[in-house]
Amino acid sequence: MRFVFAGLLFVTTCFAQDLTVESNGKKWPADEVQKVYDSGCAVVQREFSGNRILRPRVRLILGADKNSVTFDRREIKLVKWDPYLFAQGVVMLAFEDLLPVSLRAEMTRRAVLWAESTLDVRSVDK
């Protein structure tokens, strides 16, 4: 029984590290923030990744000058709490985590190769 409890505590701690919030003096509903984060991850996981668990690292900053998502810093900045804008940011960051950088680079290379290998039929001499 101790092992089960220790395992649950470890999993909860890991998940808690995926989402951090800076409020800059703004009030925010902690339970709702966590529920929207969990739901955003679950939606992308069910739609695109099958069995792979998605838990993107996200830093929510409330009280920002404007609403935005910064991919390289993994930040969602909101002027005030808005569950729809937060969910949109979580979905965008979770979707980005689906493809590792190496696979994105390979797909980019393939797209350029395919574009270069196509031939417009009108350009072929008869």
Mean pLDDT of successive 10-residue stretches along the chain, which has 126 residues: 42 57 83 95 86 89 95 94 96 87 86 83 68
**Considering the entire predicted model, what is its pTM?**
0.70
pLDDT in tens, 7-36: 433 333 334 468 999 987 767 899 999 999
Q: Residue 53 is which amino acid?
A: I
All residues at 6 or more sequence positions from 96 whose CB lies less than 8 Å from its CB, including other chains: 56, 71
**pLDDT computed for residue 60 by the predictor:** 96
